[in-house]
Structure 1
Amino acid sequence: MSDSFHPGEREAQERAGETAIADRNIAVLSDTVIAGARPFIAKQFMGVLASADADGKVWSSVVFGKPGFLHTESGRSILIDVAEAERDHADPLWANMTPGADLGMLFIELGSRRRYRVNGSVLRLDQHGAEIAIYEAYPNCPKYIQRRHLRRSGEPALPAPATHGTVLHGEAEAIVRQADTVFVASRHVDSGADASHRGGNAGFIKLMDDSTLRFPDYDGNSLFNTLGNFNVDPRGGLCIPDFERGQLLQLTGAARVLWNQDDPHNETGGTRRYWEFKIDRWILRNTPQPLEWEYLDASPFNPAVAS
């Protein structure tokens, strides 16, 4: 299975002592969406997308639509039915989706803690939507997902208000401090873009200063896709939802992985791993659609947050 991982992933697996586990877990990897996952994708109203802009900056985006707007018939490509009139062009995603561009996709159902990951490249983007060719797909574990139920979704109203910045203050800072859900984008020059999820109890993200965030890295599936990508290319993106106010905070910057750190309060759940994210730029946007969420409960796997 060694050819299934690039050197950055192998380095992270070896440092964590989890190479053998990674080799076992990679058995779920496929070059198509398996038949059982296709109805799951089609029922989603939310998709997480990882892309890179013309300058190489990596962005994490969340798009919403009526169930069925994300779908695959053959399992070899994903269709994203978001018409031109429904796209928020304050989100860099739409400019980044040029034919041939890498795109990472995460289909996550917060209410059931199920998720499925697909990586591919853009075949087309036109006025009706996009089609993404698939080159790898696999399920993810349900850990660290806070359960939420979408009670109501309205029609898109564009343009949606947006603000920009380079350091965290005010509303953007408050969103980071209360976050319990983060979507992470990373990229490898050969393996492409990747979208993943990080979650924890509110306060699990620490602000080291007004442009640096620190994340504890919990036990996962041992593949180390995200940290492996950061080992090779530190550029990354974050998207932090504010479920209460219907906003998305998107940040682009660079990550640094920290191994074998002191962790007296067991913030990492025993891994002693962290990663820091240095912000280059952020965008705070309202979601195009009005969304009303109901919080259900936190993941039972979340480590406690030190005060």
Structure 2
Amino acid sequence: MSGFHAGELAVQRRAGVSQDAARLSAMVAPASLGAGMARFLAERTFAAITARDGAGALWTSPLTGPPGFLHVDSATTVTARTSPAEGDPLHDLPADQPVGLIAVEFAIRRRLRLNGTLSRAGHEGLRVEVEQAFGNCPQYIQARRLRDAAATTPAAAPVRRGTELTPDDVALIRRADTFFVGTTHPTRGNDASHRGGAPGFVRVEGGGLWWPDYPGNNMFTTLGNIHADPETALLFCDFATGRTLHLSGRAEVGWTDPGAPGDDDRTGRRVRFTPGHVVAGRLLPLRADSVSPSPHNPPLAGR
């Protein structure tokens, strides 16, 4: 499991950052969860998980709970004392499958990614045997303080399932400053990652959507996985209302001239996504009343 896979290496070469990425290869070495990671996870109230439902479709879903709901049991094992909500496409997800997990503290702009195998799943919680664990930089995380709204939230509205985006879905995407992307690899398993930018950085066109790829750590885990396997899942959360939008479909990495329309940060990279399945509901029991944009958000370029 150590080292970059062929998809990551291909994107790194195309982006011209192979040498920079090679210096980070230790980040994808076999995991060892130390005291710092254990404390960070124990204090979190929000995470997102990428996994497959009983029919084999890939999804990314929110996991929430009070501080302590994420617990490091050993140097390679994490327990989540929760499971995806009823109505979520990953409710009753099967065990014995690869999963990706990302825990985020928006207020201090920190995130931690864990990849491994789901060894236990049920209403009592999830257990992940962790194979990779690494932090990401604070870029593009919009600062917001999440609070528990479960006690004041009205009864859950019906969950809509379909294959196409509705006008309400499009409006949610176009005002989003944050979303989560789940990807997969034939031998490395699943991954959950974060994307952020100014509202409008995700463009919706022709029944699909796309976003420019901003500069990051040059590992290209997400784009490398898409290069190897186009199956992709997206999760949008409206932190003001609790509304959620799950999308499962296919993505492709596109390359343009730097500075082309929509190339906000002039990387010449973008990801196009075509949804195959849509689940929309109000499945996030957390709220945030205000947001402080990331100072790293580039201004939106022409579309």
TM-score range, shorter chain: over 0.9
Structure 2 match to 1:14? 13
Tell me how far apart the structure 1 counterparts of residues 123 and 232 of structure 2 sit (CA, whole Å): 28
Structure 2 match to 1:105? 101
Q: 1:200 to 1:38 in 2, by over 3 A?
A: same
Deviation for aligned residue 1:151: 3.5
Structure 2 match to 1:34? 34
Listed as ranges, the matches of 1:115-134 within 5 Å are 115-134=111-130
Identity %: 35
Structure 2 match to 1:236? 232
Deviation for aligned residue 1:161: 2.7
- In the superposition, the TM-score normalised over structure 1's length comes to 0.91
Tell me how far apart the structure 2 counterparts of residues 160 and 124 of structure 1 sit (CA, whole Å): 29
Counterpart of 1:40, as a letter, is F
**Pairing 1:205–2:209 present:** no
**Pairing 1:82–2:82 present:** yes
User: What's the CA shift string for 1:199-246, capped at 9, x where partnerless?
Assistant: 00000011111x210110011111111111111110000000111211
Structure 1 match to 2:44? 44
Question: Does the Cα contact within 8 Å between 1:158 and 1:288 map onto a contact in 2?
Answer: no
User: What's the CA shift string for 1:128-171, capped at 9, x where partnerless?
Assistant: 11111011101111100111011443248775531122222222
Tell me how far apart the structure 2 counterparts of residues 222 and 280 of structure 1 sit (CA, whole Å): 29
**Pairing 1:193–2:209 present:** no
Q: 1:122 to 1:266 in 2, by over 3 A?
A: closer
Q: How many pairs were matched up?
A: 300
Counterpart of 1:5, as a letter, is F
User: What's the CA shift string for 1:60-83, capped at 9, x where partnerless?
Assistant: 111111111111132311101126
Give the stretch that moved more between structures: 178-187 or 252-261: 252-261
Structure 2 match to 1:92? 89
Counterpart of 2:269, as a letter, is R
Counterpart of 2:292, as a letter, is D
Tell me how far apart the structure 2 counterparts of residues 151 and 262 of structure 1 sit (CA, whole Å): 40
* Structure 2: 5+ residue stretches without partners: none
Deviation for aligned residue 1:55: 4.4
Counterpart of 1:64, as a letter, is T
Tell me how far apart the structure 1 counterparts of residues 149 and 31 of structure 2 sit (CA, whole Å): 33
Aligned-partner SS, 1:177: helix
Tell me how far apart the structure 2 counterparts of residues 288 and 301 of structure 1 sit (CA, whole Å): 26
Measured on the aligned residues, the alpha-carbon RMSD in Å equals 2.0
Deviation for aligned residue 1:262: 5.6
Structure 1 match to 2:296? 301
Question: Does the Cα contact within 8 Å between 1:58 and 1:252 map onto a contact in 2?
Answer: yes
Question: Does the Cα contact within 8 Å between 2:264 and 2:301 map onto a contact in 1?
Answer: no
Tell me how far apart the structure 2 counterparts of residues 158 and 121 of structure 1 sit (CA, whole Å): 33
Listed as ranges, the matches of 1:141-220 within 5 Å are 141-155=137-151, 160-209=157-206, 211-220=207-216
Tell me how far apart the structure 2 counterparts of residues 41 and 263 of structure 1 sit (CA, whole Å): 38
Deviation for aligned residue 1:284: 0.9
Counterpart of 2:163, as a letter, is T
Deviation for aligned residue 1:33: 1.8
